Amino acid sequence: MKIKREALVSEYITDALLILMQKKAYKDVSITEICEKAGVTRMSFYRNFESKEDILKRWLTSITDDFLSESGISYKNDSMGDYFIKLFTHLKRHKAICTAIYRADLIYLVKEQFDRAFLNIHQDEYDDYKSYFLAGGIYNVFLLWLINDCKEMPEELAERMDNILIK
């Protein structure tokens, strides 16, 4: 029962930070404010997290891992177009938080997830150099897309990526 309660507390704290980050600058969000919004004590906060950044790291890891397992995304099994449509649809779903992370100068946390995911998914297909190369290129396309307010639909971006990688 304690594990379920701790998981809920962790979820409340994460949700509180994500909500607050969409309303104000990350640097202006205090631990006290997160705790008040989540309805938990500072002791509960520090029992679950080391810092605000720790919350974001865990959340990004969680949504990345969930996406990878639920989507079955794979260079081997998906066409290149389908691969990128799945990826950019997932990223667009989290546009508001990614924008807040970007504004907080923490976008490197997203880059770390790209690297981790590519290394893990493609470890049997590619060496580390190719995985990092692909992760970096796709991340930079994502970053430009995010900076430009995700104006293109995932399908349009997938088509552009397909043209870049094939030609």
- C-beta separation of 62 from 11 below 8 A: no
pLDDT value at 1 more than 60: no
Structural element, H or E, at residue 19: helix 2-23
For the segment 83-137, what is each residue's pLDDT rounded down to a tens digit?
899 999 999 999 999 999 999 999 999 999 999 988 888 777 888 898 889 899 9
CA distance 150 to 54: 26
| Cα 142 from chain centroid (whole Å) | 11
Structure tokens at 125: 């297909």
> Model's pTM, two decimal places?
0.90
CATH classification code of 1-49: 1.10.10
| Per-position b or e across 96-108, b if 16+ CB within 10 A of its CB | ebbbbbeebebbe
pLDDT beyond 60 at 167: no
